[in-house]
Homo-oligomer: A and B are copies of this chain.
Amino acid sequence: MFRPEIKVIDCTVRDGGLMNKWQFDDKFVRHVYNSLSKAGVDYMEIGYLSSEGMFSRDEMGPWKFCAEEDLKRIINGSEKKIKLSAMADIGRIEYHDIPPKSESSLDMIRVACYVHQVDAAIALAHHCIDKGYETTINLMAVSTVGLRDLDEALADLSKSRVPVIYLVDSFGAFYSEDIETLAKRYMESLPGKTIGIHSHNNQQLAFANTITSIICGINYLDATLYGIGRGAGNCPLELLLSFLKNPKFKVRPLIEVIEHEILPWSKKIDWGYFIPYMITGVLNQHPRTAIALMESENSHKVTDFYDQATSVS
């Protein structure tokens, strides 16, 4: 599928960091940065933008903050061939802590929010636009949102100046037909805007639903190396770039960095398709109970977990 409007956003460090509190060392982050650049990926989301003091640097690695000095250390004086993005959560970044674009190596700030936070998200995103950044709003957990609330949120977003709005399958609950239905609704409700997709792999559908999104006209595509990410993980970037027929994309640099940086992490942390994540995905539930089970010594006790998750009492 060659469509020049398509942009690919790698979320390896930002979403993968949810598993290890962003404790990736500079060698890892620099290798990912250089490999994504060689692969022709459009954006690298390198972490979260958080105010210092909101979290402890003793506990959280540098990519929870994305301070300019940390970004500069990764870029290391080389010519920047990939745009850098950071995600901002409502309430975790003070407006005055966001530097003007001219003083930052970041190109894009993506505001993540739930449907009840849309007004705050638009205000923050407008602030970022006014400081010179590209901006998106990533509307999370829409699989649990009623149609009236969703339409109201989309109506508010349509009136905003934010150019890119994301459909986020936070729980990995969507089938392709859900993606088709929602993509249509987003397009109709958000004329003139670009739509993005961020999927999760609880039902082994993250890549398939991203393909469906492309067919539906969605142009901003999130993925991570080898699907790394919290819980069931994400759409694997190496599959996505193999599918896209744009000759600017190269798969080999992705295979190389997976071998040297991602496979070693796969020995230390489990992500991907596991029965507890499958169960929360099928049931359209937040994966927190599945993550807790997987981190316990009872990770194999999936029948008990199924019984608890499906209990109506």
Contact, CB under 8 Å: B259 / A208: no
* Known contacts A211-B175, A239-B278, A303 near B204 by CB under 8 Å: no
A299's nearest neighbour on chain B, judged by CB, is B263
A116 interface residue (CB < 8 Å to B): no
In the bound complex, what is the Cα–Cα distance between A205 and B177 (angstroms)? 15
Contact, CB under 8 Å: A205 / B207: yes
A302 interface residue (CB < 8 Å to B): yes
A264's nearest neighbour on chain B, judged by CB, is B300
A255's nearest neighbour on chain B, judged by CB, is B306
A236 interface residue (CB < 8 Å to B): yes
Contact residue among B176, B238, B307 (Cβ-Cβ distance under 8 Å from A275): B238
A239's nearest neighbour on chain B, judged by CB, is B203
A285 interface residue (CB < 8 Å to B): no
A201 interface residue (CB < 8 Å to B): yes
Give residues 200-222 of A contacting B (CB, 8 Å): 201, 203-209, 211-212, 215
Contacts of A208 in B (CB 8 A): 176, 204-205, 207-209, 211
Contact residue among B215, B236, B307 (Cβ-Cβ distance under 8 Å from A204): B236
A200 to B: closest C-beta gap in Å: 12
A206's nearest neighbour on chain B, judged by CB, is B204
Give residues 224-283 of A contacting B (CB, 8 Å): 226-227, 236, 238-239, 242-243, 251-252, 255-256, 258-259, 263, 272-273, 275, 278-279, 282
Interchain Cβ contacts under 8 Å between A and B, 27 examples: A176-B176, A177-B215, A203-B239, A204-B206, A204-B207, A204-B208, A204-B236, A204-B239, A205-B207, A205-B208, A208-B208, A236-B278, A238-B275, A239-B282, A251-B282, A251-B306, A252-B306, A252-B307, A255-B275, A255-B303, A256-B303, A258-B302, A259-B300, A259-B301, A259-B303, A263-B300, A263-B302
Known: A177-B215, A204-B204, A238-B278. 10 other contacts (CB 8 A): A204-B208, A205-B208, A236-B273, A236-B278, A239-B282, A242-B282, A252-B306, A252-B310, A258-B275, A272-B273
